[in-house]
């Protein structure tokens, strides 16, 4: 089976700044590839290349086995790669169903919006994902942060995404809300989508992930299958192992 | 699976409570309707003429000229932009038509077409500059406002030697064009200007586009969250430029009504009106920050304007009081709008 996305030694420089270098990973259908790293590790650069916002300048980027270089997010979208950005997922003052169909609105024969169909399809698509909203007419802004992420995820799934890129979907959420979002990530995975989950929280990544790519300062620190690593090791790797131990010593010194 | 949180039941019980308010949130023009009713009742009681047919014809006409522009400006504001050149544009388009017809002897219909092309070009330029530079439209259109103001006066003085263009009555096609833009119709023996019909028509079309078409959906989206809309494939640049062109079109319509009704135009006309348009749109429920508002609301905002302006005259008061009224109305409208938006945007995490 060919992977949905495969990158090999991919890299990107902004002028003299090396933002990403020699990163290899795969995204398979029905699997979650987690990209972990601290701020400035290169996570955003990587997903922007996958989403078509930026172009890589080293290595190869294959979509379904075919080498590719997107020139716009629209192109990536047409190849079935949908990205849900942390803050850019929805328009708060617009209703749920109008958000859901934004950019792909259903119309009647006369070119008018088919709001009846829009509302029904939105409700159905959301409930298929296990999101039960009574009123799809309410502004998205009245939903909680987690629910808004879920609407964005359901939208991507509904419009035929094969790969779902989620940029820190749990970053600004409380523990419970994060759990809800992760549940929908798992739902999307079980429906056969390939998911790229970007996060800096190993506790969010580990339960749903199949593969973990750790980035640090633009380089791959390691790439593991779930069977190769446990959560403690993942957390340790992520925090920079030895560095954290040194820090712990320092802090203990202050306490004493 | 280690995560088994179930949110929906909790979401439902949170949903049921603020439903009445949520209904209000969805109707931005509610406040304006209430205000219009109050103003109508007030002047109906206080003055004699206000309720008469002649009185109604006067305040409806006043409201219509403002309303056509207010509706277009409202669409633009919902799309997240301002156009300060809108007021002067009504004079510019009238001047272009008048100069072409009186000085070059063009048929009025042809002159109208040329001035329409001129208006659309200025609108497109406004939009293109705003999108290209990424500067606030407030600044860009302030520039085109000043530039047009200068052009209006400069060109008029250069060509006619004065600051007004008159003599439209003698031009070819004045009668037929006048019938379309500046004639009157009779209801119960009272003459109403045809501009009222244009106003209603423009409002109906604008509101339908806004609420019932894909483009309308995009207007709300690009005003509410430009980046998000771009991310899902909404053509942001094209839509915004089209909105600026719509405002310019409305200015052409109002300019044409003016020149064909009065047969002359002052070069300094229209200055200061741009704020009246914005005020009417805000009273009608438009947010200054974009993404929310209503075309019908803006039309009602203009109606309040017209009723109050003429009502104060009928009541025999000094027209200075109109400004006070306007200020209070605007503040009240902004406060109500703000409250509604906070409700709609409230973030629960």
Mean pLDDT in residue range B283-300: 92
Quick check: A93 and B217 CB within 8 A? no
- A215, β-bridge pairs: A37, A220
Both structure tokens of B269: 């006309």
pLDDT at B6: 40
Mean pLDDT in residue range B7-26: 50
Put simply, whether B52 touches A (Cβ < 8 Å) is no
More confident residue, A107 or B88: B88
Confidence band of B26 (pLDDT split at 50, 70, 90): low
Helix, coil or strand: residue A197 = strand
Q: Could you tell me the pTM of the whole model? A: 0.84
Quick one: fold of A5-255?
Rossmann fold (3.40.50)
For residue B15, list chain A residues with Cβ-Cβ distance below 8 A. Answer: 133-135, 138
Q: Is the ipTM of this complex over 0.95?
A: no
pLDDT at B116: 97
Interface test with B, best of A95, A141, A185 (most B CBs within 10 A): A141
**Which domain CATH number covers B148?**
1.10.3470
Task: Tell the burial category of A14 from Cβ atoms under 10 Å away from its Cβ (0-12, 13-18, 19+).
Answer: exposed
For residue B220, list chain A residues with Cβ-Cβ distance below 8 A. Answer: 91, 93-94, 98
**Alpha carbon B122 to its chain's center:** 17
Q: Is A122 left (phi over 0), alpha (psi -120 to 50) or beta?
A: alpha
Quick check: B225 and A92 CB within 8 A? yes
Domain boundaries, chain A: 5-255
Mean pLDDT in residue range B113-137: 96
Q: Name which of A92, A113, A134 is nearest B224 (Cβ-Cβ).
A: A92
Share of chain B above pLDDT 70, in %: 90
Confidence band of B311 (pLDDT split at 50, 70, 90): very high
Both structure tokens of B15: 């949903």
pLDDT, tens only, A92-105: 888 899 989 988 88
Q: Structural domain tally of chain B?
A: 1
pLDDT at A130: 75
Average pLDDT taken over every residue of chain A: 83
* Closest-CA residue to B27 (of B293, B282, B338, B218): B293
Mean pLDDT in residue range A208-235: 83
Question: What letter would DSSP give residue A39?
Answer: T
Give a yes or no: residue B23 inside a domain. no
Give a yes or no: residue B19 inside a domain. no
pLDDT at B348: 40
Give a yes or no: residue B9 inside a domain. no
In 3-state terms, chain A is what percent helix, strand and coil (to 5)? 40, 25, 35
Give the residue numbers spanning the domain of B316.
Answer: 29-341
Give a yes or no: residue B22 inside a domain. no
Confidence band of B346 (pLDDT split at 50, 70, 90): low
Rounded to an integer, what distance in angstroms lies between the CA atom of residue B31 and that of residue B70? 16
Give a yes or no: residue B42 inside a domain. yes
Give a yes or no: residue B2 inside a domain. no
Confidence band of A44 (pLDDT split at 50, 70, 90): confident
Give a yes or no: residue B17 inside a domain. no
pLDDT, tens only, B208-254: 999 999 999 999 999 988 888 887 878 899 999 999 999 999 999 99
B residues 278..317 contacting A (CB < 8 A): 287, 291-292
pLDDT, tens only, B133-164: 999 999 999 999 999 999 999 999 999 999 99
> Which residue of chain B has the CA closest to A207?
B2
pLDDT at B13: 47
Handedness of CA B151, B157, B162, B167 (dihedral sign): negative
Rounded to an integer, what distance in angstroms lies between the CA atom of residue A200 and that of residue A189? 20
Helix, coil or strand: residue B318 = coil
pLDDT at A41: 81
């Amino acid at each position: 089976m060919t992977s949905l996305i495969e990158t090999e030694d991919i890299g990107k420089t902004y002028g003299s700044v090396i933002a990403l270098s020699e990163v290899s990973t795969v995204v398979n259908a029905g699997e979650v590839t987690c990209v972990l790293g601290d701020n400035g590790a290169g996570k955003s650069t990587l997903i922007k290349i996958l989403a078509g916002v930026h172009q890589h300048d080293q290595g190869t980027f294959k979509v379904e086995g075919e080498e590719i270089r997107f020139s716009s997010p629209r192109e990536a979208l047409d190849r079935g790669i949908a990205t849900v950005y942390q803050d850019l997922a929805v328009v708060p003052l617009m209703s749920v169903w109008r958000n859901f169909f934004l950019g792909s609105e259903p119309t009647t024969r006369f070119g008018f919006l088919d709001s009846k169909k829009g509302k029904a399809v939105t409700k159905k698509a959301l409930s298929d994902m296990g999101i039960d909203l009574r009123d799809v007419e309410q502004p998205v802004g009245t939903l909680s942060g987690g629910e808004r992420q879920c609407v964005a995820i359901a939208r991507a799934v509904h419009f035929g995404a094969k790969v779902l890129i989620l940029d820190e979907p749990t970053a600004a959420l409380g523990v419970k809300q994060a759990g809800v979002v992760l549940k929908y990530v798992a739902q999307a995975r079980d429906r056969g989508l390939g998911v790229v989950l970007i996060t800096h929280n190993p506790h969010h990544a580990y339960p749903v992930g199949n593969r973990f790519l750790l980035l640090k300062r633009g380089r791959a620190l390691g790439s593991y299958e779930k069977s190769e690593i446990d959560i403690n090791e993942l957390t340790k790797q992520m925090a920079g192992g030895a560095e954290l131990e040194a820090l712990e010593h320092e802090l203990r010194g202050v306490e004493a | 699976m280690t995560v088994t949180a179930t949110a929906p039941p909790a979401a439902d019980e949170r949903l049921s409570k603020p439903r009445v308010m949520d209904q209000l949130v969805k109707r931005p023009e509610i406040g304006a309707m209430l205000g219009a009713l109050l103003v109508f009742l007030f002047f109906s009681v206080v003055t004699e003429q206000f309720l008469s047919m002649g009185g109604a014809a006067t305040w409806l006409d006043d409201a219509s000229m403002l309303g056509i522009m207010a509706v277009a400006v409202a669409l633009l504001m919902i799309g997240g932009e301002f156009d300060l050149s809108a007021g002067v544009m009504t004079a510019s388009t009238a001047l272009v038509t008048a100069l072409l017809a009186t000085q070059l002897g063009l048929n009025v219909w042809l002159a109208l077409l040329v001035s329409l092309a001129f208006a659309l070009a200025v609108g497109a330029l406004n939009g293109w500059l705003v999108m290209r530079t990424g500067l606030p439209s407030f600044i860009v259109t302030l520039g085109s406002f000043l530039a047009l103001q200068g052009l209006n006066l400069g060109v008029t003085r250069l060509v006619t030697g004065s600051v007004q263009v008159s003599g439209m009555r003698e031009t070819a096609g004045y009668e037929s064009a006048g019938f379309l833009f500046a004639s009157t119709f009779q209801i119960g023996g009272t003459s109403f200007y045809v501009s009222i019909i244009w106003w209603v028509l423009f409002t109906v079309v604008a509101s339908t586009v806004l609420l019932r078409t894909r483009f309308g959906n995009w207007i709300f989206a690009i005003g509410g969250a430009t980046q998000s809309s771009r991310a899902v494939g909404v053509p942001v640049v094209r839509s915004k430029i089209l909105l600026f062109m719509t405002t310019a079109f409305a200015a052409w319509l109002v300019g044409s009504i003016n020149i064909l009704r009065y047969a002359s135009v002052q070069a300094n006309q229209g200055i200061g009106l741009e704020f009246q348009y914005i005020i009417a749109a805000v009273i009608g429920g438009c947010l200054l920050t974009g993404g929310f508002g209503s075309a019908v609301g803006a039309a009602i905002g203009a109606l309040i304007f017209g009723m109050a302006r003429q009502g104060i005259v009928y009541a025999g008061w000094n027209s200075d009081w109109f400004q006070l009224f306007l200020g209070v109305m605007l503040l009240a409208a902004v406060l109500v709008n703000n409250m509604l938006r906070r409700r709609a945007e409230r973030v629960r995490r």
